[in-house]
Amino acid sequence: MIPEMTFSKPNRIDTHMPTVEQPCIRHCCLDSNDRCMGCFRTLHEILSWHTYSDGEKEIVIDKCRSRKKGAK
């Protein structure tokens, strides 16, 4: 006799897509201040990106834009 098989519902896959894309442009190189010369995020911002809310990510992106302008 074959035992009865039961199937459970598959786990829901998180389909939440990030609404704020990371600014990484794949030109990663840290300067002497631990700031990426490609996206202008600090090392701390890069490592913490996944923990930030969308609002915090927008603030980081604004800071990156300012840093980029200051670097020119």
Q: What is the per-residue pLDDT across 4-33, written as a single tens digit (0 to 9) for each?
A: 766 566 666 556 666 899 999 999 999 999
Report if residue 54 sits inside a domain.
Answer: yes
Domain hosting 59: range is 24-72
Report if residue 9 sits inside a domain.
Answer: no
pTM of the prediction?
A: 0.72
Domain count, the chain: 1
Please give the pLDDT value at position 6: 62
Please give the pLDDT value at position 19: 87
Q: What are phi and psi of 11, to 5 degrees?
A: -60, 140
Report if residue 47 sits inside a domain.
Answer: yes
Task: Give the Cα separation of 47 and 66 in Å (integer).
Answer: 20
pLDDT(43) > 70: yes
Report if residue 2 sits inside a domain.
Answer: no
Report if residue 56 sits inside a domain.
Answer: yes
Report if residue 53 sits inside a domain.
Answer: yes
Identify the three-state secondary structure at position 36.
strand
Report if residue 31 sits inside a domain.
Answer: yes
CB 30 within 8 A of CB 37: yes
